A = this chain, B = another copy of it.
Amino acid sequence: MQDDDIANIMRALGHPVRLSILRFLASQQQRECCCGDVTESLPLAQSTVSQHIKVLLDAGLIERKPHGTRNRYMIRQDRLAELGTAFGGLIDGLNLRAPHKETEPA
């Protein structure tokens, strides 16, 4: 994952409403969870929530699964893990970088 991708995801995470949406999805993950549910949990219009969902979709942080008239959304755990790794690497790389990167002993 390179800087552009990381920046992209960071921007997607860079809005309180989108963090709320992710948190909500996490808390409801095993049940049905459609756009309407998310909208009910927020003081925003349905269209606005749909937009935010699209941003999260584009960043690859969630996935859509059509189910009848509604769409079920869920967090992409694989991408979260990937992001965790990339972010760790970023922080690590910013941490007083030496001439070459090496895993330091604890």
Residue of B nearest to A7 (CB): B16
Interface string of A18-46 (1 = CB under 8 A from B): 11101101111100000000000000000
Which residue, of A14, A29, A84, A95, has the highest number of chain B Cβ atoms within 10 A?
A14
Q: Once the chains are docked, how many angstroms separate the CA of A20 from the CA of B2?
A: 11
Chain B residues, CB < 8 A from A88: 84
Q: Min CB distance, A91 to chain B, in Å?
A: 5
B27 near A97 (CB under 8 angstroms)? yes
A96 near B77 (CB under 8 angstroms)? yes
Residue A65 is within 8 A (CB to CB) of chain B in the complex: no
Chain B residues, CB < 8 A from A95: 26, 77, 80
